[in-house]
Chains A and B, each alone.
Chain A
């Protein structure tokens, strides 16, 4: 098979993974715009994934005929809240207690992965069942093709329209966030906090509230990415293989790649999804040359990182106070 024949299949998986990465990336952009460098994104995505799974697991067990819409609602609310709670821990430690961002974020990743894999592996056992968890109804609801006419549109139509609703929701979130950050008053305030909290403070902006809210909401959005992965890609079961963590780090990498602009995340995430899966679709790769292609997304990210640091174009720089704690009395 030539590369072009397999291209549609590659695009399909790229869109699935890209959506996870896009949600994680948008969440992290919102967080980083407030100056909080949250390396806990993978952990937060784990939390979102497991919370949605747990929520619908109990719902599906409690009723005879689970309703698909209620399933989606419960999953989304659980994922968002659990992930936002992770963000709250991060904000409390870094903003109120002024702990170091890097260390706190990494801890959040370790913690989130631990919680998720613990419950993912033993939830069913704790609830008295056997085997793995499976939430078939919810997963089916998530994977229902949003546009029923997609099948009639040929290859291109299928690629564009034959996905669950989360694929389109993710794009909407990215667009909304771009508008919020670049066009709204609150977005301007948020950027001011991230660039120079002392100046923002002097201008009467409540720095702590902006940091807290943007981090918690950002984490909530990233948590939806974890939910999408669990419900769509692993079809409502738990896979203990660390893929969410890998995707989480790719999301953090993508933030750099997009130069902190959500609009770039829309195409960037699909590109990353393609780079991630490229090794399966390039003909003639042996098992030991595959890993060299798996490096691609990371190499590309490093290249972008280097280029933006050399070029020093103003609009491509990270928020100036990224990763620094703010204490009003410190000079």
Chain B
């Protein structure tokens, strides 16, 4: 029994919160969709109260901002892929209940490694080989950045939430250091496009589409992660450690090794996202290549309950909001922070709705007699 509420009007009710058994999948997704719908209505109300604009028009304008013309559509897809890639990286760590808040930093060091390859090897190696080198380098950098907090967690149970959070800021300053080092032209305080003429290390267009390689890479990773978490032995170990470390230890799993291994994977994928962001998207390096997506991805991974395909939908939704908000900003002369507000509202509602996935509330009338006994 958890909470009792009594009405003064004679009859009294008892509210009882109980943990649910597993919800059927369609019902669970129904609750989530309902939550998003409620959130969008709340956002519309907010937009109306601030700007007195017709919210339907605003949403139409957002849709245009994200999808009108192939350039915008591709930009939306491209940004979705980076966010999705980071979320995929976070999923195994979070499933293990290892709070890797450090994706932002892992993305940045992956980006640094990629940029280094592009700058120092960009015009020396043939492109396919260079791409492989970049992938490996960015994965390694991200893995190391993820492994450091994991080592301390495994050995001394150091709080990983705060550790990985601090690693973000170290990575940001490290990036600033390299930006100053590679600065081009001198005094601009930015690196500028790397290899603008030779395109050394840029992701090549496939079938005439600039960002197709990003999409293929990330979608392959999505499918891989789905089966890794669901069907592999390692995925099962992650789930057990996440649910109960003691159980894992009792059945003879090497918890330390699982933590380290999972964080290497998690960091490596986030590092790869940095590679995609640098070599496949911006073709330069700055402290902004993470752009807060390391934090947004945490929410994507959590909301989709580590289901890789659910992550596609959620990252798409969030990028859509971002692009849409930019359009609102230019159409109606506001600044594009509206997307952050809407993101916040949607996430609050979705987080709140999870309660109804895990618990159910039942009401029961209590007779006067029962009440006396209580």
> CB within 8 Å of B: which residues of A?
37, 39, 89, 92-93, 97-100, 102-104, 106-115, 117-118, 121-122, 125-126, 246, 249, 252-253, 256, 286-292, 294-295, 298-299, 301-302, 305-306, 309-310, 318, 323, 327-330
Assembly CA distance A122 to B216 (angstroms) = 40
Assembly CA distance A99 to B181 (angstroms) = 43
Cβ contacts under 8 Å, A301 to chain B: 162, 166
Closest to B178 in A: A288
Cβ contacts under 8 Å, B343 to chain A: 107, 110-111, 114
Q: B347's contact among A110, A249, A288, by CB below 8 Å, is which?
A: A110
Contact call A93/B337, Cβ cutoff below 8 A: no
Contact call B101/A111, Cβ cutoff below 8 A: no
Judge if B334 is at the interface, Cβ distance under 8 Å.
yes
Q: B344's contact among A111, A286, A288, A295, by CB below 8 Å, is which?
A: A111
Contact call B335/A122, Cβ cutoff below 8 A: yes
Assembly CA distance A294 to B176 (angstroms) = 10
Known: A117-B340, A126-B50. A110 touches B295 (CB 8 A): yes
> CB within 8 Å of A: which residues of B?
1-2, 17-19, 50-51, 99, 101, 152, 156-159, 161-163, 165-167, 169-170, 173-177, 180-181, 183, 189, 292, 295-296, 298-299, 302, 333-335, 337-345, 347-348, 351-352, 354-355, 358-359
Assembly CA distance A237 to B340 (angstroms) = 21
Assembly CA distance A323 to B160 (angstroms) = 12
Contact call B352/A97, Cβ cutoff below 8 A: yes
Q: Which 3 A-B residue pairs are closest in the complex by CB-CB distance?
A: A111-B344, A114-B340, A288-B180
Contact call B348/A97, Cβ cutoff below 8 A: no
Assembly CA distance A37 to B173 (angstroms) = 26
CB A138 to nearest CB in B, in angstroms, measures 23
Assembly CA distance A318 to B158 (angstroms) = 11
Interface of A is mostly: helix
Cβ contacts under 8 Å, A256 to chain B: 159, 162
Contact sample, A vs B, 30 pairs, CB 8 Å cutoff: A39-B101, A97-B352, A97-B354, A99-B351, A99-B352, A99-B354, A103-B302, A107-B343, A108-B344, A109-B295, A111-B345, A113-B340, A114-B340, A117-B337, A122-B334, A246-B169, A252-B165, A287-B189, A289-B177, A295-B170, A301-B162, A305-B159, A306-B156, A306-B158, A309-B156, A309-B158, A310-B156, A323-B161, A327-B19, A329-B1
Cβ contacts under 8 Å, A104 to chain B: 348, 351
Contact call A302/B163, Cβ cutoff below 8 A: yes
Cβ contacts under 8 Å, B99 to chain A: 102
Closest to B346 in A: A107
Contact call A329/B19, Cβ cutoff below 8 A: yes
Cβ contacts under 8 Å, A108 to chain B: 344
Assembly CA distance A104 to B50 (angstroms) = 25
Known: A125-B333, A302-B163. A93 touches B348 (CB 8 A): yes
Contact call B352/A93, Cβ cutoff below 8 A: yes
Q: Which one of A92, A113, A330 has the highest number of Cβ atoms from chain B below 10 Å of its Cβ? A: A113
Cβ contacts under 8 Å, A118 to chain B: 334-335, 337-338, 340-341
CB B342 to nearest CB in A, in angstroms, measures 8
Cβ contacts under 8 Å, B18 to chain A: 329
